[in-house]
Structures are given as structure tokens and as C-alpha cells.
Chains A and B, each alone.
Chain A
């Protein structure tokens, strides 16, 4: 484990950042699905009890949400109550960091083979759309543009939710700066 000795801080910071971002996204997914019609519409096509996971290979951080019906998501933290239906797996911590720190768009990351989809692809496509929508909510427009292919025109969210999410985000951006240094 030579690399560990050379760059212990950078790697540790990335790991913490990815874990934190998964938590931010998990909570935000649940919150957004309670108020946003677009997200609900997308989610409604998923079976009730559908479990979605994002994870870092081999045994890294995880984000698990469940579609509990009516287009609502429930955030399960990092442990699934049963086998997941669709899993998006980053091949390496660095790839997850690139995406979650908005240096690489989700769609580009797919195109770059940074992650694998395990499970029904049509559900994975749907979840990617939900995540894009989410990113444009919780990020300031300038960063969101970097994260998604196109910034949606119709974003109307209660002020409270946006500000809550942006508090998480401030923590996150602070992390990017530290981790990049």
C-alpha cells in the first residue's frame, strides 16, 4: 500500500467527501420527492419497494433509496433492507469524487465507463434523470450546469428546501477546496 503512505490526506479527504455527498444526496432525494412534481412523475413509474443504490467499488460508500410509492423516495442511509434492484457502481473512489464534486457530468461519467449499471437499464435511465433534476436543485446554477447536460427551465421549489440543501452544499464546496489542495 505504497500510495497510502504517499497521499494519506488526499485520499482520506476524497473518501469523506464522497460519503458526505452521498448523505446529502440521499436526504435531498427524499426531500425533493416530497415536493417536486417532476421527480414524482419520474419516480411513479418505478415499482413500489424499488431499491436504488449508488456505490463505490469495491466496498466503499453507499447511498440507498427506496421508492415507497406515489413517487416518494425514502433514504435508507448506506444499508439496504434487501437485495437492491438497480445499482450504479463507480469503479474507483476517484471516479465517484470527480462526479460528486461536479468536475465530471454524470452522463459523461457513463460515457467514460467510470461506472457500471447492474439491473434494469430503463430504471437506471430514469434514476439518472431524477439525479440530474436533483443536482440542478441543490446546486447553484453555475455548478449545476457543469453537472448536468442541460439545466431545466422549470425549477420552482419552496425557498426553504433550497436553502436547506444549499447549507449541505456549503459544507460540500468547502470540502472540494480542501480535497483539491
Chain B
């Protein structure tokens, strides 16, 4: 008998497509929620993305009781405490998080406080602390990348201690993820590219790392196909709402995949680079992806080769001998990165970012080695290995 074993879990209702926002009142009604609070950031408000949500609710007679639009890019325990206080004062009974990773994580953390009580969310850090469902919670992603709408984790900075607190519990998952192409239509090109490459990386790592399983593989493969097919179309025609929806769905699907099978070294390096050099997460993902696949190549030849079908389509897949498919998959990803560089200068090397110095590579390697995702990388990584990958990614 084979030793294989896996778990797969995703209880989030996905509401996706044209006029999806208009389903929010019905969904909240089904959860017996009447006084929702919106948690979002200034960028979302400035882009006018709250208007269709508010209109959709008002037309159904659902009043948005409070709007907090000041979530910073790196959310903190203080912000979470302040939002929870407003929620209580306004007697809200549910949360709608609208935004990217930070707004969504903040929504999750606020939900812990308003459901469990208290002012200090740090008390609930760690795994398995929450024992019961929280308040009704909807998520409306405005970037197509993080997949936070389907992950059971939130990361919030504790300003006093200067550390990032992880919260993990399946109760953090929203009741529904609302994916409406209107919400990503105005995303600027470099953010569209970087976030889509984050989704691509989630799918590729999920498909090639140690916890891969048949269910997450199905989501990952479908997500890769969608990103490969639609990303450049959207880059050339940003108002292509069908293409936008494809990317948004790909992001959610890749999120479902990686939350069940985890990610590997691309993320370990990316997290470390983000922390040390303050580069956006998606950019780091796009940058490291081919170099890490090259490092892992001999351990992941089989699955990586299979991905060629989703990256390049059936003709090229069939025309490529099986023994060359893994390399061809890496080339396809490099080609995509070149195309993105041409369109929005998304960096392909650390040097191209202009924000990293060669002296920082040791520190990045060191930090990457302590990142949780490194445990799921299919090939063992020593400090020397990590440093060598960084050197190749340098220029």
C-alpha cells in the first residue's frame, strides 16, 4: 500500500461573475446579519470601488452601518483594536472586508476580537486557539493574487513587540468570497502583473511541493491555465472584464490549492526579501519562480513537465518530448516574465529591482531558511543552496 495521505478543506462559498456584488445582501440575510461593517483601505475607496458595493446593499434595503477605510498596507494589532471598538460602538453584526491581503487579514483579525471579546488580538495567536465559529464575514478581493479569501490564516504586526503574529484557524475563513470583475478592472498594470504572478506561483508551488494532492492539483492546474491564457490579454487590454474575471478566479483557485498543499522555497525567499528589502510580495514571486524551479528541477521533473500542458496548451505540450517538458515549463514562465517586463518593467532579477544590494543576499538567505514554507519545498535547502539561488537571481 502506498504511504500517501492528504487532507483537503475549503468550506468557503464562492460567488463569482457578473453582478456578484448584488448577491451580498442575500448572503448576509442568510446569515441573519443586518448591520454590516466594511473594512477596507484608502486606495480602494479612492478607486471608487466602495460605490458599487454600497449601491448593491442599499438597493436591497441593507444599510452599511460603518465604513473603516484606513487599513495600512501592513496591518497592526492597534488598527485591529480600533476597528473592533468602532464595530462595537456602532452595534454592527457582520464584517465585509474589501481589498487586498492586508484588508482581508485585518477583517479576519477584527472578527476574532468582536466574536471572542477583548482588546488584545495577540492573545489569540497560534494554531487551534479558536474553538467556535465567528461573526458573519464576507470578503471581496480587489486584487487577483493573494488568495486570502480562501486561506485560514491572517498575519498582523504587533507594533509593541515588532513581530508578525500569525493566526490560523479554519474559523477565520469567510462565509463567502465575492468575486466581481468590477473590483479588479482598474488595477494598474504593474499590480495586475505582480499579483497574477503571485497566483501563478501559488499554483506552481502547490503542484510541485511536498504536500501536493489530487484535489489541490486540480485547482492548481486550472489556475495556471487561466493565468497563462488571460494575463497578457488583460495587460494589453485592461478593461477586458472577462479576462479580469479569469484572473480573479485563478487567484481564488490557486488560493484553494496552496492553502491545502502549501508553498515552498519561492515563498521562503520572497517573504525574506519582502521583510528585508521592502519589495512587494508578487514582484518577489515572479522574480524567484524560475530560479527556484531550476533548483528543484530533478526532484519535480514529473509534475513540472505536466504543467507544460497548462502553461503552453496542447500543441506545444504534444510537440515537446516528455524528457524536455520540465525545462520547457520553466522556459514558458521565463517567456511570460519577459513579456511582463516589456509591458510594465516587472523585474526579473534582483538587480533590476534597484532596491536590493548584493550585500543583502546573505541576510535574505539566512532569513529564508527560518521561513515555515521551506519545510514543504521538495528538495532540502541549506544556507549555501539558498545563497546560490539568490546569486543566480541577482542578475
Contacts and interface: CB of A to CB of B under 8 A. Distances in A.
B126 A111 contact: no
Contacts of B372: 117, 121-122, 124-125
B64 interface: no
A101 B372 CA distance: 25
B375 A128 contact: yes
Contacts of A98: 3
B127 A125 contact: no
A125 B375 contact: yes
Contacts of B371: 122, 125
> B128, B166, B262, B370 — which one has the most chain A CB atoms within 10 A of its CB?
B370
B157 to A, nearest CB: 15
B386 to A, nearest CB: 12
Nearest to A106: B375
Given A117-B127, A118-B127, A125 B210 contact: no
Contact of B126 (A103, A114, A119, A132): A119
Nearest to A126: B370
B369 interface: yes
A125 B166 contact: no
Given A122-B371, A125-B371, A128-B375, A112 B5 contact: yes
Interface string B112-140: 00000000000000111000000000000
Contact of A113 (B6, B126, B370, B374): B6
Contact of B210 (A108, A116, A119): A108
B380 A122 contact: no
Contacts of B376: 107, 110-111
Given A112-B6, A150-B380, A118 B128 contact: yes
Given A124-B372, A125-B371, A118 B210 contact: no
Contacts of B35: none
- Of A104, A112, A118, A128, chain B has the most CB atoms within 10 Å of the CB of A112
A128 B372 CA distance: 11
Nearest to B369: A125
Nearest to A116: B127
A25 to B, nearest CB: 19
B204 to A, nearest CB: 17
Contacts of A45: 370
A150 B166 contact: no
B379 interface: yes
Contacts of B6: 112-113
B127 A113 contact: no
A116 B369 contact: no
A98 B3 CA distance: 10
Contacts of B166: 121
Interface in B305-339: none
A150 B371 CA distance: 19
A170 interface: no
A141 interface: no
Contacts of A112: 4-6, 211
A116 B372 CA distance: 12
Interface string B31-57: 000000000000000000000000000
B7 interface: yes
A132 B7 CA distance: 24
Given A112-B5, A125-B370, A150 B379 contact: yes
Contact of A111 (B127, B128, B211, B380): B211
Contacts of B209: 111
B210 A111 contact: yes
A10 to B, nearest CB: 16
A125 B7 CA distance: 21
B292 to A, nearest CB: 16
B366 to A, nearest CB: 9
Contacts of A124: 372
A119 B364 CA distance: 23
Interface in A42-93: 45
A116 B380 contact: no
Interface in A107-158: 107-108, 110-114, 116-119, 121-122, 124-126, 128, 132, 148-150
29 contacts: A45-B370, A103-B3, A107-B210, A107-B376, A110-B210, A110-B211, A110-B375, A111-B209, A111-B210, A111-B261, A111-B262, A111-B375, A111-B376, A112-B4, A112-B6, A113-B5, A113-B6, A116-B127, A117-B127, A118-B127, A119-B126, A121-B166, A122-B371, A125-B371, A125-B372, A125-B375, A126-B370, A132-B380, A149-B380
Given A111-B375, A112-B211, A122-B371, 7 more contacts: A108-B3, A111-B262, A112-B5, A125-B369, A125-B372, A148-B380, A150-B380
Interface of B: 3-7, 126-128, 166, 209-211, 261-262, 369-372, 374-376, 379-380
7 smallest beta-carbon distances between A and B, as pairs: A111-B211, A122-B370, A121-B372, A150-B380, A111-B210, A149-B380, A112-B5
